[in-house]
Amino acid sequence: MADTISKVLVVGGSSGMGLALARRCLDQGAQVIIAGRDADKLARARESLGAHSQLEAVAVDITREAEVGALFDQVTGLDHIACTAADIQGSYELLPALDLKAAQRAMESKVFGPLLLAKYGAPKLRPSGSITFTSGIAAYRPLPRGSVVAAINAALEGLVRALAVELAPIRVNAVSPGWVDTPIWAFVAGDRKGEMLDGMARRLPVGRVGRPADIAEAIAFLMGNGFTTGTVLHVEGGHRLV
């Protein structure tokens, strides 16, 4: 990474892309705080990352403003905030079956949650710091059943551009992953996860779907590059081309 990273908050750091990012930052010598709603998942994540003196874990629901405020009451001297959290369970449905409450939960987790992280986290960041969110390919290549997630990802990318202006010189960016083999596919595809991922791998120019480490590397680039802000970095194996 171009800049030295000493302290990073990874929201959604208990699994998938967030866990891969936490591991990468620890390997780079950074102090890392992983945060998420589920204390048991956080405990398992800490165990998988090893008994690391540079690692902390904090349970927080980023859709609850009081909890986000309390989190940043405890945190000081941050270099970067990254958020990979998403609660999209129940939101991948055709319109006749769509549960509005599930759609609202997804919106809260991927738009209002990041907004709260920016509201309370920006004052705790050093001026050279950054905030990185994760949108997704659904904003560009939506599938049937994906209208909610497409709208959410597009909204998040608009938020990124606005926050990059408002919070400057703090940098605000997003990574837009394509299809990545993470636990979230259990909600999207159920028993068809392997079949769907294999089918997409055959379509993509790179010949495979993404891995959590691919997204972690992209987030690390955005954290370390001091001349990038208001940007959506597409890491999707060429999905937008097919």
Chain segment 25-44, per-residue pLDDT in tens: 999 999 999 999 999 999 99
Q: Which domain holds residue 205?
A: 7-232
Least confident of 54-58, 120-124, 143-147: 143-147
Query: Mean pLDDT over all residues of the chain?
Result: 94
Residue 105 falls inside a structural domain: yes
- As a three-state string, the secondary structure of 157-177 is HHHHHHHHHHCCCCEEEEEEE
Residue 43 falls inside a structural domain: yes
Residue 240 falls inside a structural domain: no
How far is CA 167 from its chain centroid?
19
Catalytic, 109? Answer no
Mean pLDDT confidence for 205-220: 97
Does the N-terminal peptide bond of residue 142 adopt cis geometry, omega within 30 degrees of 0? no
pLDDT band at 163 (very low <50, low <70, confident <90, very high): very high
Mean pLDDT confidence for 136-146: 94
CA distances from 191 to 59, 194, 241 (A): 30, 8, 28
Name the catalytic one among 15, 130, 135, 176: 135
* C-alpha Rg value of the chain to the nearest Å: 17
Residue that wins the pLDDT comparison between 126 and 186: 126
Residue 241 falls inside a structural domain: no
Q: Are 159 and 204 in contact (CB under 8 A)?
A: no
Q: What is the pLDDT of residue 5?
A: 63
Inform me whether the pLDDT recorded for 51 exceeds 80. no
Mean pLDDT confidence for 13-33: 96
Inform me whether the pLDDT recorded for 2 exceeds 50. no
For the domain that residue 62 is a member of, what is the CATH number?
A: 3.40.50.720
The 10s digit of each residue's pLDDT in 66-105 is 999 999 999 989 999 999 999 988 888 999 999 999 999 9
Mean pLDDT confidence for 53-57: 95
Q: What is the pLDDT of residue 192?
A: 85
Residue 99 falls inside a structural domain: yes
- Is residue 181 packed enough to be buried (19+ CB in 10 Å), middle (13-18) or exposed (0-12)? middle
| 59 token code pair | 């349970």
Residue 239 falls inside a structural domain: no
69 three-class SS? helix
Inform me whether the pLDDT recorded for 205 exceeds 50. yes
DSSP H or E segment with residue 227:
none
Residue 2 falls inside a structural domain: no
Mean pLDDT confidence for 129-141: 97
12-23: burial string, b at 16+ Cβ within 10 Å, e else: bbbbbbbbbbbb
Tally of domains in the chain: 1
| 204 token code pair | 């993509």
Residue 171 falls inside a structural domain: yes
